[in-house]
Structure 1
Amino acid sequence: MTDHNSSPRAVAEPAIDIADVYVFPSPSRPGRLVLVLNVFPNARQGALFSDAAHYRFRIRPVTIPAGGPGSVFEVGSDEYDITVAFEAPTTTDEAGNPVQEGFCTLPSGVTVAFRANDEQATEAFGVRVFAGLRMDPLFIDGTGYVETLATGRVTFQENGTNSAEGWNILGIVVELDVATVLGQAAGTLFAVAAETVTAGKFPLRLERFGRVFVKNQLLGELGVDKVNQDLDLRELYNSEDPFELAPDYLAAYRARLNANLAALDDIDGKIDWPLRPDGTHPLTELYLGDYQVVDVAKPYAEDSYLEIEQAMQQGRAHTTSGGRSLNDDAVDTTLTFNVTAGNGPRISDGVDQATVRASDDFPYLAPPNPDPAAIGGFLVPSKVADQLAALEAAGLVSRSR
């Protein structure tokens, strides 16, 4: 749900649908940064990466300005791209599954060849690369989450149900030696965004991902944006450059973020992010800079998602690596940050870990579920009122509870 099925295009072509992105220092190899890009929600054995699209990590140096609430990162113009591409399969393995060859192109232009689903992985030129079917590390009570958004109050149970239980995804894992691959990059603080783009000389952006819930929650149609209430902004947003938003729809993005962030703040019955006199929410500009921020000089920390962002808002120095680890409870962290600003108890959806915890060793993602259950469509909070009505009709939730 963090970004699963986040646009009509993604639903139509799951091989380019970015489910989640993770950025963290390697817990087992100091000096290395791990980038994970998951696509194809609820993938089955034999699922393929697209040979008509490229999967790209984009990395830029950032600095933290002095300030407080409302501060945003200052992003440098230097960029270090890592692009992964796949060929159409021409052979099959012993089980009859198609075999895909892949290529990882580094910022230097050097290309590392690998084979999808090769458990031995490939290591060369300062990177290790793996791509293939793995278990989805997402964990979230999707039903409780949709009900919470639709009713405007916290309705999670103490023991929630993981809506992604047993799911598989297609995962791309690139572990890079920072000194070798990023070379003379300024500083230790980096912004990382991921995207899928069309292959070819003039690539078109298909999907992009930075922080958790930006599209499916903050830009979703929660019914409180009175300016663009009937406009699904997510497909437009997907086409935007994560580091250089065009001016065309900025006003629409801001209106949606201002409205939805204010509605989230009110879920616990108190206001922790007072709006500015012009109605702007203090977090709107932060979320418009939609990328994860990681400090490669800090050691691995499992629960450090949004810590750098929170420290910047509070005017203090960050203490962790930031980014997002595979076992990080980013759902609880995001809800707590947006709803309480850290002023009060942590908000929990009652689900604290994935079906199988991720490993501390490469390729980090857990092996795939060999027999995933036939699970239906994933709950997406783009039209939460309609989804809540459907849940009520099925007897799964009750507004009067």
Structure 2
Amino acid sequence: MSDHVDGPRSIGDPAADITDLFAFTSPENPARIVLAMDVFPSAGEDAIFSNVIDYAIAVRRVTVAGVGNAAKFQPEADGIRFSFRFETLKRDTAGKAIQHGVCKLPDGRELSLTVNEEKGASTPQGDVRVFAGLRSDPFYLAWDIAVLKKLPNLLQHTNVLSIVVEFDTRRVLDLAKGSLFGAIAETVPPQQRNLLGPAISRIDWVGRPEQTNMRLNNPAMSAITDLRDLWNQQTPFAISKVLQPLFLQRLKDSHATWDMLDGKADWPPETIAATANVFLDDFLLFDVAKPINDRSHLEIEKSTLSGRPYQTGGGRTVDANSIDILLTWLVNKDREFLQGGATGATKPGIKVFPYFATPNTELQIVDETVELAATPDDVWSLIGQFGGAWHPQTARVNLTGAGIGQLRTIQMIDGQQMVERLEAIDDAKRSFRYTNIAGMAASQFTGTLEVKPKGSGSVVDWRVQFVATGKTDRAMKVIVSTLLKTGLESLKSRFGAAK
């Protein structure tokens, strides 16, 4: 998923897991450029930035050093860097938890900011403004890409933490030396020696979308070694010469696999090799002197590989359909556009700073029912006890307290533990309501279990609502639905199914 969850190390530190990188002209002011990075896939409403990680966007000027099968984009040795550090949570005068941070600008100035402050922060000179906070994930993936099967957006309703930098193009970039640039984003831990081995140089970095999850770890290829963590340890703009042959071969093999996914060969071997050489130098190309729009993504690379001058500013906008643009190029070399099962993200980008849509906070609902032959009272006598030991996935239940506010700690047969609290119960109406305190990757998690008469039997309705945190809505719905269905289906063997 773009750069979401792109290796074992980033999975263990989601706040340092970069999901996307963007470079585009400001919709508010064409004289300004926007650079943005997103981190923390499926961020919950209380997600915060790490206070021990440097979040950085680095930019270097690039020249076209070759075209056609000799295509090459050569970055300069030096560049500019926007680096962010965040503090631990504090409380304001109203008792609300807030997080502050500092952006170090390329010229050494420091700009203080408050996370989730909608207007962001600006320098006194007005040449730079920044934002950091929770936003709707602008990326969308609507394919089972290993078999080119269309799906709904797999990231529907998910959020990320966004870092946005907007600056006056001519005041920050010296355009007299050229207007083509390459950008990368990276997350760098403190440079302390690990007692069990060498220091970790970085946790994650990204240039173009899908370098790791689609190109280096192609899901259409079987029995391959996962190179993503090894790749993430490389130095941007300077991939290890020792490891270059390994990465180049994987890029070529991956491209050849994509090419044949539709059963047609569109890419000659020499062009695949040339493309691999270009993508080995992984940085997001953008030209500030040319138009950057929703369709210009990868146009600079495509044109240069085809031996013709590029016409757009490349880059990547908030609403760019980056997955379908890349997939179409890899599979059929733009012979026929491949549109996935969605045409946009959960929310489109906005035209005003900070350009990324507000977070998704809509409650998701899972509702399952079962009709039984037994009377409502008979069924309620079993499941109306908050303990929940009747559920087949329950190994053990410990109760704390009694009545409203009672806690149940459930040990599942798979080892997972959940803590839930009784919020309301009505024996006359045969219903109770509970909330999840721990154990579910969700907030605002509320469940209601109710038994009603139906004919000579009864119907049990189990309804849950939540906001996913740490998992996609799609994944959480599958988990919750499976839990509910398994429990309700088990009641048929006890009470018989309604006829």
TM range (shorter): 0.7 to 0.9
Q: 2: CA distance between counterparts of 1:183 and 1:203?
A: 33
Instruction: Note the residue ranges of structure 1 that are not aligned, 5 or more in a row.
Output: 380-401
Residue of structure 2 equivalent to 1:12: 12
Contact kept in structure 2, 1:221 and 1:232, CA below 8 Å: no
Shift of 1:186: 2.1
Residue range with higher mean Cα deviation, 6-15 or 70-79: 70-79
Q: Distance in 1 between matches of 2:282 and 2:13?
A: 23
**CA separation in 2, counterparts of 1:377 and 1:251?**
35
Distance, in Å, in 1 between the alignment partners of 2:5 and 2:73 is 28
> Normalising by the residue count of structure 1, what TM-score does the alignment of the two structures yield?
0.85
Deviation at 1:249, TM superposition (A): 2.1
Q: 1:265·1:272 contact (CA, 8 Å) conserved in 2? A: yes
* Structure 1 pair 363–280 and aligned structure 2 pair: CA distance change class (3 A): closer
Give the SS at the match of 1:268: coil
* 1:274 and 2:275 correspond: no
- State the Cα distance separating 1:316 from its structure 2 match: 1.6
Task: Tell me the number of residue pairs that the alignment of Structure 1 and Structure 2 aligns.
Answer: 362
Q: Distance in 1 between matches of 2:288 and 2:120?
A: 23
1:232 alignment counterpart? 226
Larger strand proportion of the pair: 2
Deviations 1:158-189 (A, max 9, x none): xx411111111110010011222224672110
Secondary structure, aligned partner of 2:246:
helix
Cα distance in 1 between the residues matched to 2:4 and 2:299 = 24
Deviation at 1:121, TM superposition (A): 1.1
Mean Cα displacement is larger for which, 19-28 or 202-211? 202-211
Rounded to whole Å, the distance in 2 between the matches of 1:134 and 1:235 is 27
Task: Give the Cα–Cα distance (whole angstroms) in 2 for the partners of residues 346 and 288 of structure 1.
Answer: 25
Give the TM-score normalised by structure 2.
0.69
Whose Rg is larger? 2
Deviations 1:81-108 (A, max 9, x none): 11111111222575x6531111111111
2:338 matches 1:337: no
Segments of structure 2 that go 5 or more residues without pairing to the other structure are: 193-198, 364-466, 474-499
Residue by residue over 1:333-356, the C-alpha shift from the partner in whole angstroms, topping out at 9 and shown as x without a partner, is 0001111222x1111112111111
* Deviations, residues 106-148 of structure 1 (Å, cap 9, x unaligned): 111111111111112111141110000111011111xx32xx4
Measure how far apart 1:200 and its partner are: 5.2
Q: 2:337 aligns with which of 339, 346, 351?
A: 346
User: Residues of 2 paired with 1:298 and 1:188: CA distance?
Assistant: 9
Partner of 2:211: 214
Q: Are 2:158 and 1:167 aligned?
A: yes
What SS does structure 1 have at the residue aligned with 2:167?
A: strand
| 2:77 alignment partner, SS class | coil
CA–CA distance in 2 between the matches of 1:44 and 1:319?
Answer: 40
**Residue of structure 2 equivalent to 1:391:** none
Q: Whole-Å Cα distance in 2 between the matches of residues 105 and 168 of structure 1?
A: 25
Instruction: Indicate the SS of the match to 1:56.
Output: strand
Percent pairwise identity: 35
Aligned residue in 1 for 2:282: 290
Structure-to-structure mapping, 1:297-336, within 5 angstroms:
297-336=289-328
In the superposition, relative to structure 1, how do residues 97 and 11 fare at CA in structure 2: closer, same or farther (>3 Å)?
Answer: farther
Q: Give the equivalent residue in structure 1 for 2:128.
A: 127
CA deviations 1:66-93 (Å, max 9, x no partner) are 4213512111112111111111122257
For the 8 Å contact 1:27–1:299, the answer to whether it is kept is no
1:190, 1:108 → 2: CA distance?
Answer: 18
CA deviations on 1:316-339 (whole Å, 9 max, x unpaired) are 222211100000000110001111
Q: 1:177-192 alignment to 2 at 5 Å?
A: 177-183=168-174, 186-192=177-183
Q: How far is the alpha carbon of 1:221 from its aligned partner? A: 5.2
Report SS of the residue matched to 2:170: helix
> Which residue of the partner structure matches residue 262 of structure 1?
256
Q: Name the aligned partner's letter for residue 27 of structure 1.
A: P
Q: Are residues 324 and 376 of structure 1, via their aligned partners in 2, closer, same or farther at CA, if it must alter by over 3 Å?
A: same
The CA RMSD measured in Å over matched residues stands at 2.2
After superposition, the C-alpha distances for 1:177-204 in whole angstroms (9 at most, x for unaligned) are 1222224672110000110001358982
Q: Which residue of 2 aligns with 1:83?
A: 83
